[in-house]
Structure 1
């Protein structure tokens, strides 16, 4: 098996049976905030795109690059389709011209036929509203000699199924770095923000090491991040100044973490790197010497910024600006447009709206719009209402753009761009961000139904002198594998959520109580 890194979470897997292209991403994403790092535009995309199979793990824009898929990837390729509850991924690929789909069943091994023989594949499909934009997944591929687990940035809760179906995993590709807007965009003191960032950075790497231990592969490739931020306004987000509070550590940093913790199997792969893997044997070649990138990362980023400046400017020019009709008062205000979008969604999602539980303020330039979730209405502010418990300051052109483009997911556009500011009183509210992922009838119906299902907490386990429910109240992770107890606090390393063990109260978000008692 020959595995070529094509950048970020992207890989090209060559076997005797056929080739699989996974998650190719080249064009800037999230309002041109994210660019692939290191630069992957120099690769031979005509050759890479002439694949037998295509695997797109999910619809996040750093995995689903519509422009690139349209222009470079063979439309006769067989798409290995994850088993998702809503068909958005399939629909988006069909719009681009793909028509051959192999529909997998979640966590079930399948045999697929390529031009040179057969491959065994399995896709672990994650279906919770918190998983990507309504779905994330990981791919297992075996050619009979070598088994590769491409986990990208999925967070599976059951690793036992890998070994039950495939035995030993030879090479494991996984995310280790941040891919979120927290805590950078929040209106909190600088020192507090730095401390939160330091915790977020380490928890992300701890989670990745936990997965590495559970999978037990011979070789590990840190991938799926970080991106690079080339806009002058966002350059501070790059981890190129030794900032311990930066949530975007690079491959070199994580490989050092692996070494510190006694794991010698880490492999550096950058765009164009090729790993020839035959079971436990691996040989590695690079198209570019990694030292040219990582020995002076800030200079490399500056050269990228100069090279991609025209692309960044063109992306910004495509945003929906304020129109002359609006300046003259002849078009609908953002308030009216958002009322038409949000109120029908609110009317279908009682459990999510109740879970949010308070009005939210959207400060859009000179205009403020209130999403009153308890009353299921979108309205103007009420005099004397005061500061809202949760709110966002967003440039109007970003909101106008997602409205123009009929985007069903603000998380996958505005929020991941980090081109906004936020404030909140109290903890993270999962229901709120789920709402912004589900701005379509199909998505909101699924998400509201998912939250209404009772989570199984009947099984128990013991950790550090406490009896606790075995399954995490958040997303059912097995706490025997992801749970860490420090004093009276339990942390689930899958997403970093925490509970007070004495009371069972979730310290991260509203609700999600834990059953626990001291032994």
Structure 2
């Protein structure tokens, strides 16, 4: 098996049965904020796109690059399709001209042959594949996924930025994993955009940075692969107003650590089989044996990362200018009525989510303020004397006008990941609010509301650091025997960094989500 990095979460996998192109991303994403790092524009995309199979893990724009897929990727390639409850990914690929789909079943091993691809592989050669599909509202709900590929000599787990909760299904189906490709760096706007003191923001950033790397190391331990490749981040920010987000100034509060930082973190914790891959790097993997080749010396990047970023910014400045020209104008009719037309039907369809939000949320859009009154299921103008809202966002009106124009169903993975906004909140993170902003179609919100309404089994218990706690995390059902970390009376689930007070069971991160727990020195009952 030959694996080539094509940048960020993208890989090209060559086998006897054909080639698989995974998550190719080249064009800037999230309102021109994110670019692939290191630069991958010089790769031979005509050759890479002439693939037999295509795997797009999910619809986030740093994985689903519609313009690139349209121009460069063979439309006769067979799409390895994750098993998602909402069909948006398939629909978007069909719009681009893809017409051959192999529909997988979540966490089930399938066999594909070269004859099922676009014709470049040995038609008799076989591949075993499995796609682990994540379906919780926090994953879309359009989904996130990881791909396991085995040519029966070598097994590769391309986890990209998915966060599966059960690694046993991998080992049961494939046994030993030879090479593991996974995310370790940030992909969020917290805490950078929040209106909080700089020192507090830096402290929160340090925590977020370390938790992300802790989570990645937890996955490394659970998967137990021979080789590990840090991937799926970080992006690089080339716009002058966002350059401070790059981890090239020695800021310990930066949530976007790069590959070198994580490889050092791995070594500090006793794992010396981490591999650095840059776009164009290729590994030949034969079981546990591996040979790595780079297209250039990676030290040319990391000897002076800030200089590399500056040169990249100069070279791609015309791309950023062209991207900004696609935005809607800032000026126009008031936004109240179009936002009412978008949000109120969704509110009326999502009682559980609206009740979970539980208060009005303010949108400050230039000189106009719009209130999303979730308890009343209304979008309205501010009322006299209403004061500061518990949760609020300051967003440039041109961004809102753009997503309205484009009928964008997900503000989280457009506006919010752009980091081109400011936010404030009083109290903890509100998962229901961000789920609402991800689900701006009837189909999506119906699925998310139904997911939250289901009762999840929490009857099983585990012991962690002297506490008996329910085994499954109340947030997204992660196994707390594997992801739970106890410090004092606080439990942290490293899958998403959520925390609980063990004495009371209260969730410290978000409203609701209580945890069943008791200290083992105390009698049961």
- TM-score normalized with structure 1 length: 0.98
- Aligned counterpart, 1:216: 224
Mapped partners of 2:296, 2:439: distance in 1: 41
Mapped partners of 2:412, 2:295: distance in 1: 35
Q: Note the alpha carbon deviations across 1:75-97, whole angstroms, 9 max, x for none.
A: 00000000000000000000000
Q: Note the alpha carbon deviations across 1:194-215, whole angstroms, 9 max, x for none.
A: 0000000000000000000000
- Aligned counterpart, 2:340: 339
Question: SS at 2:270's partner residue?
Answer: coil
- Aligned counterpart, 1:246: 254
Q: Note the alpha carbon deviations across 1:225-272, whole angstroms, 9 max, x for none.
A: 000000000000000011000000000000000001000110000000
| CA RMSD in angstroms, aligned pairs only | 0.6
- Aligned counterpart, 1:410: 411
Q: Is the CA contact 1:498–1:508 (under 8 Å) kept in the aligned structure 2?
A: yes
- Aligned counterpart, 1:255: 263
- Aligned counterpart, 1:424: 425
- Aligned counterpart, 1:61: 61
User: Following TM superposition, by how much is the alpha carbon of 1:322 offset from its aligned partner in structure 2, in angstroms?
Assistant: 3.6
> Does residue 1:178 correspond to 2:178, yes or no?
no
Within 5 Å, which residues of 2 pair with 1:31-46?
A: 31-46=31-46
1:237 to 240, 245, 248: 245
> Does residue 1:75 correspond to 2:93, yes or no?
no
Question: SS at 1:14's partner residue?
Answer: strand
* Closer, same or farther: CA 102–288 of 1 in aligned 2, 3 Å: same
Question: SS at 1:130's partner residue?
Answer: helix
Mapped partners of 1:296, 1:268: distance in 2: 17
2:143 to 122, 132, 135: 135
User: Following TM superposition, by how much is the alpha carbon of 1:33 offset from its aligned partner in structure 2, in angstroms?
Assistant: 0.1
Q: Is the CA contact 1:60–1:133 (under 8 Å) kept in the aligned structure 2?
A: no
Mapped partners of 1:132, 1:359: distance in 2: 23
User: Following TM superposition, by how much is the alpha carbon of 1:487 offset from its aligned partner in structure 2, in angstroms?
Assistant: 0.7
Within 5 Å, which residues of 2 pair with 1:283-294?
A: 283-294=291-302
> Does residue 1:126 correspond to 2:134, yes or no?
yes
Q: Note the alpha carbon deviations across 1:45-90, whole angstroms, 9 max, x for none.
A: 0000000000000000000000000000000000000000000000
Within 5 Å, which residues of 2 pair with 1:54-453?
A: 54-114=54-114, 115-116=121-122, 117-132=125-140, 134-322=142-330, 326=332, 331=333, 333-453=334-454
- Aligned counterpart, 2:516: 515
Mapped partners of 2:41, 2:327: distance in 1: 24
Mapped partners of 1:322, 1:456: distance in 2: 48
Q: Is the CA contact 2:135–2:141 (under 8 Å) kept in the aligned structure 1?
A: no
User: Following TM superposition, by how much is the alpha carbon of 1:132 offset from its aligned partner in structure 2, in angstroms?
Assistant: 3.9
Question: SS at 1:351's partner residue?
Answer: helix
Mapped partners of 1:366, 1:483: distance in 2: 45
* Number of equivalences: 512
Q: Note the alpha carbon deviations across 1:127-182, whole angstroms, 9 max, x for none.
A: 00001453000000000100000000000000000000000000000000000000
Mapped partners of 2:297, 2:70: distance in 1: 31
Gaps (5+ residues) in structure 2?
115-120, 521-525
Q: Note the alpha carbon deviations across 1:297-323, whole angstroms, 9 max, x for none.
A: 000000000001111011111100045
Q: Note the alpha carbon deviations across 1:329-381, whole angstroms, 9 max, x for none.
A: xx4x2000000000000000000000000000000000000000000000000
Bigger CA drift: 421-430 or 454-463?
Answer: 454-463
* Closer, same or farther: CA 301–133 of 1 in aligned 2, 3 Å: farther
Mapped partners of 1:133, 1:374: distance in 2: 23
Q: Is the CA contact 2:86–2:141 (under 8 Å) kept in the aligned structure 1?
A: no
Mapped partners of 1:157, 1:464: distance in 2: 21
Mapped partners of 1:322, 1:497: distance in 2: 37
- Aligned counterpart, 2:478: 477
Gaps (5+ residues) in structure 1?
none
Q: Is the CA contact 2:87–2:142 (under 8 Å) kept in the aligned structure 1?
A: no
Mapped partners of 1:151, 1:267: distance in 2: 15
Question: SS at 2:337's partner residue?
Answer: helix
Q: Is the CA contact 2:89–2:142 (under 8 Å) kept in the aligned structure 1?
A: no
Q: Is the CA contact 1:489–1:501 (under 8 Å) kept in the aligned structure 2?
A: yes
Mapped partners of 1:396, 1:23: distance in 2: 31
- TM-score normalized with structure 2 length: 0.97
Mapped partners of 1:264, 1:353: distance in 2: 48
